[in-house]
Amino acid sequence: MLAITEPTLLLDESRCRANIGRMATKAARSQARFRPHFKTHQSRAIGQWYKDEGVVAITVSSVKMADYFSATWRDITIAVPFNVLEIDRINRIDARCRLNLCVMYPATLEFLEAQLERQVGIWIKVDVGYHRTGLSEDDDCMDALMDMLADSSANAGKLEFQGFLAHAGYTYSARSVEEIVEIDTKAKDIMTRLQDRYSPRFPLLQISLGDTPGCSIIEDFKGVDELRPGNLVFYDLTQHSLGSCRLGDIAVAMACPIIAKHQNKLIVHGGGAHFAKDFLIDEEGQMHYGLAVSERGDDWSGGWGEHLNGLRLTLLSQEHGSLTGPPQALDGWQPGDVVLVLPVHSCMTANSMKAYTTLDNQRILHLEAEYPLAAP
Amino acid sequence: MLAITEPTLLLDESRCRANIGRMATKAARSQARFRPHFKTHQSRAIGQWYKDEGVVAITVSSVKMADYFSATWRDITIAVPFNVLEIDRINRIDARCRLNLCVMYPATLEFLEAQLERQVGIWIKVDVGYHRTGLSEDDDCMDALMDMLADSSANAGKLEFQGFLAHAGYTYSARSVEEIVEIDTKAKDIMTRLQDRYSPRFPLLQISLGDTPGCSIIEDFKGVDELRPGNLVFYDLTQHSLGSCRLGDIAVAMACPIIAKHQNKLIVHGGGAHFAKDFLIDEEGQMHYGLAVSERGDDWSGGWGEHLNGLRLTLLSQEHGSLTGPPQALDGWQPGDVVLVLPVHSCMTANSMKAYTTLDNQRILHLEAEYPLAAP
C-alpha cells in the first residue's frame, strides 16, 4: 500500500508499457525505426521497458542526457543543434556509444571535424514550419553542408552523414486532429523533397520525424525512416486535449495531500515546484494546471480511474496549489485526504519531481535525482 | 574565470549580501524580528550570509525544507497550514531545533497535542485578503482555537501559542507602489484588530507579516513583531516590475549558450527545465520569461551591468529558449556566445537549477541538489 505524505508522482507501469508497445507496433508496421525521445521520462529503468519492446536507439535533447543514457544505450541522437561549447563532454562519452549530432552551420561541421576525438553521425536539422531551429529547405548553406559531408566521407573523416531531421512541434498548437495530419503531411513533403534532391549523391540518406501528436494520430508513416516521439510514454492532459490519447492512457498522476479547505477551494501540497507551470485553457476559456481524477480513497494499488472528479488546479504557488470546482465536487474532501491530479505537461512535471512511485510502491529514479548537477 | 558550457545560474554574492543587509537593517530600525523565508534560495551556504547579519530565525514552506535547515538553524517556522500526514517527519526533526507550525483548524490542534513528541510553537494562519489559506478574522473557529491553546498552556501541553501569521501575497498583483502600501496597511490593520481582541488573554501574542514587495517598499513596520520576506535575497524581474528593487539589485542571472541564430531569433540552451515557466506581460502587452542583460563577453567575474540589451526570452521549450528583439539587438551575437538572462521568478528558477555559481567560480548547492528526493 502506498503511504502518501507529500507530493508524489505515481506511475502506472501497465499503462506506460501499453503506450510504448502501441507505438513500437505502429512504427514497425510502417517499417520505420522507433527512436523514442527520452527527455520525457529521463530514467534508465523506464528505458528498459523500451528495450523489452525491441527498441535499440534513442533520442535526447541535451549532452547531459546523452551522457546519462550512454551507460545503457549504444545509439543516441542529440536532437538539437550542437552546442560547440560542449565538445569536451561529447569527447568524454563512452566511445562504444554511437552518437548522432544535429547541425545547421558549415562552421559547426568544420569545428567538429577538427575537434572530435570520435566518429559521429550527422543529421541536418530542417525547419518544417515550427520556426524554432533548423534550415529551411532552400537555405543557401544547404549545398555547402552537403559538400563538406561528402568530403568527410571521401577522406575517412569523422562525420557520417545520416540525413535530414525535423520536429513539427507546432502540432501542439493545432486545433483539430485534421490540422495535426495536415502539419505532419506538410513536414513529410518538405523532407521528401530534400531526400529526392540529395539522394542521387547520398543514396542512403534518411528522414527522421516525429512529434507525439502526429505519431499518435497518423497510422501510416510510409517513406519516413525514423520516428522520434517522446511524450507517448506517459501522455498528459495536453495530449488528451489534442486528441493524441484517451484519458485512460495517461500513465502518471500527482498524489497531493490536502492541507486546507478554504473559501470553496481545497489547498494541496503540490505547487509549481512539483507540477511545473504549463497550463491549458479549456473550451470555456478557463485555465488550469491539472485536473483531479478518481474519488476519495487511500489505496491506488489498482491504479486510478478515468473519472474526472470536477476539481481543477487553478492556482499554483511554489509549494502549494488550489483546487476549485462546483460545490458538489468539493463535498466530502477534507484536510488529510490525498487527491490525484493529472498533469498538463508530463515531461516538465517528471523533470520537477525527479522520481516516480509505481503502484506497487517501487521508486524509479529520474536523471535529475541521479545526477542533479551534472551527468556522471 | 567562468567557463560556461551549459545553462548556469550565476550568483553575485556582493549584491546578494547587500540585499540581505538592507532588509536586516530596515527590520532592526522598526524593532521587528527578521525571519527571512528560505524557500527562495534553499541553501545552507547562503543561509550563513544571513547569520553574518545577525539573523537567528527563519521561515520555510515545507517540512522537507525545515528538516534540511534544522542542521544549521535552531528556530524555524513552517509558514503553511500543517499537513497532518507529515507528523512522523516533524517528530524526527532534531529536537534542539525549535519548530513553529501554522494551524487553521481545531482538529489539527487536537491531532498535534495527541501525536507530537515535542513542544512546538503555534501560529494561527490568517487570511488578510489573498484568499489562499488562513482564517478570516471573524471565523467561527477562532475562539475555539484560542480556548484549546489556552488549555494546552495551562496544562503543560505541547502547543505554545505564538500569535497570528499572514502572507499578503496579493501585493504581487498590485499595479502600483501605492497599491502595495494599501494592501499591506490593510493586512496590518486586520492583524492589529486580532491582537487587540486576544491580547488581554494572551499578552505576549505576536503579529507576523511580510511579503517581499511590501517589505521592500514600506519603511516603517511599527507594531509588527516579525517580518518574513524571502525573495529579497535575489530579487528578480517580477520584483523590479512591482517597484520592489532596482535592476541592479537582481543578484542572479542565467548564463545560456547560444546554439543557433535563426529567423531573427537566438536559440539558447536554457528552457523551462532551467528557468521554470513564470512569465511577465509588459506595458505593451508582450509576454516574456526573462530579459537579457549586458553585452557580449566571456568574463563576468566582475558581475554584470544594468544594461538590458533588448533581447527577450519569448518562447521556452523544455531545454531551449528563443531570444527575440529588434534587429540591432541581435547584431553580433553568434552560436557559441553566452548570453545572460535575468529571471522572472528567482525562487522557481533557483529551485529548477539546484545550484549557483558565484562570480569567483564557487559552486553553492541548493536543497534540491543535496537531497533531490527527500530531506536528510
Mutation target among B231, B318, B334, B354 for the A interface, most CBs of A within 10 A: B318
Per-residue pLDDT reduced to its tens digit, A60-83: 999 999 999 999 999 999 999 999
Binned at pLDDT 50, 70 and 90, residue A302 comes out as confident
- B/e letters for A206-241, b = 16+ CB within 10 Å, e = fewer, are bbbbbbbbbbbbbeebeebbbbbbbbbbbbbbbbbe
Binned at pLDDT 50, 70 and 90, residue B353 comes out as very high
Mean pLDDT of chain B: 95
Percent of chain A whose predicted confidence (pLDDT) is above 70:
99
Of A39, A368, A372, the CB nearest to B318: A39
In angstroms, the separation between the Cα of residue B29 and the nearest Cα of chain A is: 30
Whether the pLDDT of residue B369 is over 60: the answer is yes
Residue B283 is predicted with a pLDDT of 83
Q: Which residues of A touch B338 (CB under 8 A)?
A: 85
Mean pLDDT of B264-289: 95
CB contact under 8 A, B260 and A355: no
Whether the pLDDT of residue A322 is over 90: the answer is yes
At A238 the three-state DSSP class reads helix
Residue A272 is predicted with a pLDDT of 98
Distance CA B213, CA B264 (A): 36
CB pairs under 8 A between A and B: 167
Binned at pLDDT 50, 70 and 90, residue A243 comes out as very high
More confidently predicted of B104 and A296: B104
Whether the pLDDT of residue A329 is over 90: the answer is yes
For chain A, say whether B270 makes contact (Cβ under 8 Å): no
Whether the pLDDT of residue B371 is over 80: the answer is yes
Inter-CA distances, B151 with A316, B2, B113, B138, B160, Å: 36, 59, 11, 21, 10
Residue B284 is predicted with a pLDDT of 85
Are A188 and A142 contacting, i.e. CB atoms less than 8 angstroms apart?
no
ipTM here: 0.95
Per-residue pLDDT reduced to its tens digit, A6-39: 999 999 999 999 999 999 999 999 999 999 999 9
In angstroms, the separation between the Cα of residue A67 and the nearest Cα of chain B is: 14
Mean pLDDT of B165-180: 89
Instruction: State the cell numbers at A224.
Output: 519516413
Of A262, A354, A373, the CB nearest to B373: A354
At A109 the three-state DSSP class reads helix
**Residue A99 one-letter amino acid:** L
Q: Which residues of B touch A81 (CB under 8 A)?
A: 259-260, 267, 335
For chain B, say whether A88 makes contact (Cβ under 8 Å): yes
Mean pLDDT of B196-220: 95
Whether the pLDDT of residue A375 is over 90: the answer is no
Residue B295 is predicted with a pLDDT of 84
For chain A, say whether B134 makes contact (Cβ under 8 Å): yes
Residue B272 is predicted with a pLDDT of 98
Mean pLDDT of chain A: 95
Residue B375 is predicted with a pLDDT of 60
In angstroms, the separation between the Cα of residue A315 and the nearest Cα of chain B is: 9
Per-residue pLDDT reduced to its tens digit, A195-216: 999 999 999 999 999 899 999 9
- Chain A, nearest residue to B318 by Cα: A348
- Chain A, nearest residue to B39 by Cα: A318
Residue A335 is predicted with a pLDDT of 95
Give me the residues of B, 143-182, that contact A with CB < 8 A: 169
Are A289 and A278 contacting, i.e. CB atoms less than 8 angstroms apart?
yes
Percent of chain B whose predicted confidence (pLDDT) is above 70:
99
Per-residue pLDDT reduced to its tens digit, A217-226: 999 999 999 9
Whether the pLDDT of residue A376 is over 70: the answer is no
Task: Look at the block and give the residue holding cell 487553478.
Answer: A314
Are B349 and B275 contacting, i.e. CB atoms less than 8 angstroms apart?
yes
Per-residue pLDDT reduced to its tens digit, B282-337: 888 999 999 999 888 878 888 998 899 999 999 999 999 999 999 999 999 999 99
CB contact under 8 A, B351 and A39: no
More confidently predicted of A148 and B295: A148
Residue B298 is predicted with a pLDDT of 74
CB contact under 8 A, B133 and A335: no
- Interaxial angle between packed helices B106-115 and B142-154, expressed in degrees from 0 to 180 and rounded to the nearest 10: 20
